[in-house]
Amino acid sequence: MKYIVQVCLLLVATTFVNAADPVPVMPVPVMPVPVIFDTDMADDCDDAGALAILNELADRGEAKLLAVITNRADAAGLSAAACDVINTFYGRGDVPIATDKDGAKVSWNHPSSYTPALAKEFPHDYPNDQQCTDALRLYRETLAAAEDHSVVICSVGALSNLEDLLNSSADQHSPLSGEELIRAKVKQTVIMGGHFPRSAKPETNLRLDPAAAVSVTNRWPGEIIWQGYEVGAALRCGTSLQACGADNPVRRAFELRPYLGGAAIDHGKPAHDQAAVLLAVRGVQDEYWTISPPGRVIIDSDGHSEWRSDSKKRHRYVTIKGRPDSLEKLIDNLMVRNQVTE
Ligand SMILES: [Ca+2]
Ligand SMILES: [Ca+2]
């Protein structure tokens, strides 16, 4: 007994000595977050800024860009080409890109201010959107090939593709239904859309395809983090691209996108989609975000959105913590290619 007590005392003493020593902090290797980016790369240039950030985070080893899928028919038919231009600039010209052929269900006939110039002036190897791989096919192929419960979907446009995925059946890529595939492979879904806690008018990404928005909101079989219109509207980003060279296609997109009587690059513009990809890859960082308790988003047939608290549901929405300055700085820094060598 005496021996056991002595050993215990020795252990306690050793523990205290060790606790007083400086503990070397070893860097914890971070696995890159596998992301599918679902974008309407056509109207606003924040999609271009968001794809730049995804590539930058991939350069830093934080993200793995599995696929880019477009969700709105760009009148110029060059959404996929513009995405490939940006990926190629970052050395990822082999990331697969697919397009939704009917785009969002509400037609959007404005020609893009920047996709034609990007496709013409920068290297890429994608054809017109109509000739690209189908969105649903690439969604199912990518998810089927992924590790279980690993994929983060970041949706920054209409919800048409997510509805198609949800309604899909077994195919050559997977015997699972769309719902089963999402349940098996998707870890997290981040949606830029809506306006919380209640929208005064329908938000663009929801009103482009309200039926898809309702369907995804009511039936998605996993957690959704919502980032409403009000988040990006509080951020002004893009002026950092003024320092980039003429070879940077994201700079070009911001030069060409009109905003407030000038161009987006002049004074920056709201950064909805850049904030969403940050949430997708880095999660809800305490430094920048406050997140709601669980609840559910209600969307009506016009695309209005409303938040309801409900501890049994799996939706949450974010708000910016404090002033938006630090988040703006982070986004502006990450949109510029930093050429990190890992
Ligand atoms: Ca390519
Ligand atoms: Ca967008």
Q: pLDDT of 154-170, one tens digit each?
A: 999 999 999 999 999 99
What ligand has the least distance to the C-alpha of 47?
2
Cα(83) to centroid(ligand 1), Å: 9
Q: Are 194 and 201 in contact (CB under 8 A)?
A: no
Cα(32) to centroid(ligand 1), Å: 22
Nearest to 289 by CA among 298, 299, 276: 276
Nearest to 272 by CA among 40, 80, 34: 40
Q: Mean pLDDT throughout 124-128?
A: 97
Q: What is the dihedral of CA 39, 44, 47, 48, to 10 degrees?
A: 130
Q: pLDDT of 246-279, one tens digit each?
A: 999 999 999 999 999 999 999 999 999 999 999 9
Which residues hold their Cβ within 5 A of ligand 2, which is an ion?
40, 47, 156-157, 273
Q: pLDDT of 8-39, one tens digit each?
A: 444 444 444 444 455 566 666 679 999 999 99
The answer as to CATH 3.90.180.10 being correct for domain 33-335 is: no
Q: Are 159 and 209 in contact (CB under 8 A)?
A: yes
Cα(273) to centroid(ligand 2), Å: 6
Distance between CA 210 and CA 206 in Å, rounded? 5
Q: Are 342 and 60 in contact (CB under 8 A)?
A: yes
Cα(204) to centroid(ligand 2), Å: 9
